């Protein structure tokens, strides 16, 4: 019960921080700990920076810096993934460097994750150097992609893919635009 109250309080604090600040507000290293269940009776805290905004991974925009948390209890009894938008000046997992619109028109059957990943990765690769300032092969950064899920694709003209960059060596600090990393 104590852990449940802590989770509700932490999520409440995160919501308050999200409403009172913006992702561009670098208020420092303050954190919210959200316990997640690991095994019976054992909890591991998830650290969510104060000042971050809860967002949807598929609604990110170019220039957004974000963190991803897996298996977080987002509300009592509900375990899921959590995406938070943070200021690029604080430690973050990734940064969106471009958005793409798939050329398929509304009504076209979902091409599948393999095809969307193939198309999106090739397009992200083409745009990487323009954002970072160095060719992908010479960069310390990696490319990731968020593709639309089939229900979203089938529901209407949702054809947006987000290209993001990240480092396998740890979190990023500052925007990678023009960083030549």
Instruction: Please give the average per-residue pLDDT across 47-64, as a whole number.
Output: 64
At 79, is the pLDDT very low, low, confident or very high (cuts 50, 70, 90)? low
DSSP string for the chain: -HHHHHHHHHHHHHHHHHHHS-TT----S-EEEEEEEEETTEEEEEEEETT-EEE-GGG--TT-EEEEEEEEEEETTEEEEEEEEE-TTS-BSEEEEEEEE-SPPTTPPP--HHHHHHHHHHHHHHHHHHHHSS-GGG-S-EEEEE---HHHHHHSS--EEEEEEE-TTS-B-S--TT---
Quick: pLDDT tens for 108-156: 889 999 999 999 999 999 999 999 999 999 999 999 999 988 888 887 6
Quote the pLDDT of residue 75.
Answer: 63
Quick: pLDDT tens for 2-41: 333 233 233 333 333 333 333 333 333 333 333 334 445 5
Please tell me which residue, 35 or 59, carries the higher pLDDT value.
59
Task: For residues 2 and 56, give the distance between their C-alpha atoms in angstroms, rounded to a whole number.
Answer: 29
Please tell me which residue, 72 or 99, carries the higher pLDDT value.
99
Please tell me which residue, 179 or 16, carries the higher pLDDT value.
179
pTM of the model: 0.67
The answer to whether the CB of 144 falls within 8 A of the CB of 165 is yes
């Amino acid at each position: 019960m104590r852990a449940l109250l802590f989770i509700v309080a932490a999520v409440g604090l995160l919501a308050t921080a999200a409403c009172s600040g913006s992702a561009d507000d670098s208020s420092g290293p303050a954190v919210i700990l959200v316990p997640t269940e690991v095994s019976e009776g054992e909890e591991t805290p998830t650290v969510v920076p104060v000042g971050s905004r809860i967002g949807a991974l598929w609604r990110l925009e170019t220039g957004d810096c974000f963190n991803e948390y897996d298996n977080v209890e987002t509300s009592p009894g509900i375990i899921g993934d959590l995406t938070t938008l943070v200021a690029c000046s604080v430690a973050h997992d990734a940064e969106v460097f471009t958005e793409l619109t798939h050329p398929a028109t509304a009504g076209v059957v979902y091409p599948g994750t393999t095809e969307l990943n193939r198309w999106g990765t090739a397009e992200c690769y083409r745009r990487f150097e323009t954002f970072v300032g160095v060719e992908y092969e010479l960069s310390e950064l990696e490319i990731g992609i968020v593709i639309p899920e089939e229900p979203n694709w089938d529901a209407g003209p949702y054809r947006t893919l987000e290209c993001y960059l990240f480092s396998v060596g740890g979190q990023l600090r500052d925007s990678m635009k023009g960083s030549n990393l």
